[in-house]
Amino acid sequence: MVGVNGYTVECGVRGALTPRPLTKQPVEEAAMAAKQCSKCGEDRPLSDFSTNGAGILKSRCKPCRSADQSARYARKPIEAKKAEMKRISGWVKLNPEKYRQYARATRSANPEHYKAKVNQRRRRNRLATVAWADKSAIAVIYRKAIAISKATGIRHEVDHIVPIISDIVCGLHCEANLRVLPLAENRSKGNRVWPDMP
Ligand SMILES: [Zn+2]
């Protein structure tokens, strides 16, 4: 029998199969403006759902998927988290260009988030600035970081030797507490290391 249900072919005839209809519709065919999330049950715009490789919308909305992912990560034992961080930093080392592209895309997709971070840093620096701080000496250090970055092609940042914000110490935003460091070194140090720390 041929064509009974669209899936059968005459015995021995190959390549005559009608493609199996998709159980879910690809995005462009889904003539709807909203979709219900299987997790939170809300009707959300299609842009709130990611698609799989075949262009089919995921059943949970982006916020629900991201919350589930964070919860799953939080439940992991610390060793697994460390292994995950190691895997990611290994990938970044192997794919620096891809990582830069990804970071740039994330930054331009979330401009408010990054603007808020810059503002927060400025506010903290302002609060940690003492009256006797030499503003022009500080500016010289920031210009030096830019000059070194340009000359070496390696991004350098201004580091607070004693961190401004940590649980134990409060460093100052003054010329004596500032130095130029390569970005990678500064980021790996964070606010966890300083001279004469307890
Ligand atoms: Zn949802």
Q: What is the mean pLDDT of the chain?
A: 83
Res 4: pLDDT: 47
Is the pLDDT at 101 greater than 90? The verdict is: yes
Res 166: pLDDT: 75
The mean pLDDT value for 176-194 works out to 82
> Do the Cβ atoms of 126 and 146 come closer than 8 Å?
no
Q: If pLDDT is split at 50, 70 and 90, which confidence band does 1 have?
A: very low
Of all residues in the chain, what percent carry a pLDDT higher than 70?
A: 82
The mean pLDDT value for 176-184 works out to 90
Check residues 149 and 24 and name the one with the higher pLDDT: 149
Q: How far is the CA of 154 from the centre of ligand 1 (A)?
A: 42
Q: pLDDT digits over 132-160, tens only? A: 899 999 999 999 999 999 999 999 999 99
Q: How far is the CA of 34 from the centre of ligand 1 (A)?
A: 12
Q: How far is the CA of 73 from the centre of ligand 1 (A)?
A: 18
Domain positions in the chain: 7-74, 132-198
Is the pLDDT at 27 greater than 60? The verdict is: no
Q: pLDDT digits over 57-69, tens only? A: 999 999 999 999 9
Q: How far is the CA of 99 from the centre of ligand 1 (A)?
A: 29
Q: How far apart are CA 188 and CA 113, in angstroms?
A: 21
Res 18: pLDDT: 54
Q: How far is the CA of 173 from the centre of ligand 1 (A)?
A: 44
Of all residues in the chain, what percent carry a pLDDT higher than 90?
A: 48
Q: How far is the CA of 36 from the centre of ligand 1 (A)?
A: 8
Q: How far is the CA of 23 from the centre of ligand 1 (A)?
A: 21
The mean pLDDT value for 171-181 works out to 92
Classify each residue of 176-189 as buried b or exposed e, where b means 16 or more C-beta atoms within 10 Å of its C-beta: ebbebbbeeebeee
Q: How far is the CA of 72 from the centre of ligand 1 (A)?
A: 16
CA distances from 9 to 5, 14, 16, 20, 111 (A): 10, 8, 6, 13, 55
What is the residue-wise DSSP string for 106-163?
HHHH-HHHHHHHHHHHHHHHHHT--TT--HHHHHHHHHHHHHHHHHHSS-EEEEESS-
Res 198: pLDDT: 67
Written out in words, the top-level CATH class of the domain with range 7-74 is alpha beta
Q: How far is the CA of 64 from the centre of ligand 1 (A)?
A: 4
